[in-house]
């Protein structure tokens, strides 16, 4: 079964607004990571949250993890046009060893 499914698939907001993206997964995990990918570029790691953590912050980013619901959310506050990108969650399941399983991503567009 596929891990890390993001919701929504696409999100369009105005600059200054907050953006929330969600990720659901199916099996138990060790960690969950969020990545950003700008068009034509590789993925950039944003935040790693461990299964025993509930919330983590990094600048304008806030990640929550609810292991009982097998879900995570990424909040970007005070969005900027430069935040326009695809955002992916990735999980490493307890039984998947070294493998990170990525979702299909959320395409975020921040309009100036």
Partner 1 sequence: ETGVTQTPRHLVMGMTNKKSLKCEQHLGHNAMYWYKQSAKKPLELMFVYNFKEQTENNSVPSRFSPECPNSSHLFLHLHTLQPEDSALYLCASSQDSFNQPQHFGDGTRLSIL
Positions that interact with partner 1 (CB under 8 A): 2, 4, 30-31, 33, 35, 40-45, 48, 88, 90, 92, 97-105
Tell the smallest beta-carbon distance from residue 93 to partner 1 (Å): 11
Tell the smallest beta-carbon distance from residue 14 to partner 1 (Å): 26
Nearest to partner 1 of 15, 24 (CB atom): 24
Burial class for 34, CB neighbours closer than 10 Å (0-12, 13-18, 19+): buried
SS3 99: coil
Nearest to partner 1 of 17, 104 (CB atom): 104
Nearest to partner 1 of 13, 48 (CB atom): 48
């Amino acid at each position: 079964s596929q891990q890390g499914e993001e919701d929504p698939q696409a999100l369009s907001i105005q600059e200054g607004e907050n953006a929330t993206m969600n990720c659901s997964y199916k099996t138990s995990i060790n960690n969950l990571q969020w990545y950003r990918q700008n068009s034509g570029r590789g993925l950039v790691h944003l935040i790693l949250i461990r299964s025993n953590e509930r919330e983590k912050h990094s600048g304008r980013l806030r990640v929550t993890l609810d292991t009982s619901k097998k879900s995570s959310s990424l909040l970007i506050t005070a969005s900027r046009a430069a935040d326009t990108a695809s955002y992916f969650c990735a999980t490493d399941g307890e039984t998947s060893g070294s493998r990170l399983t990525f979702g299909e991503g959320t395409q975020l567009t921040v309009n100036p």
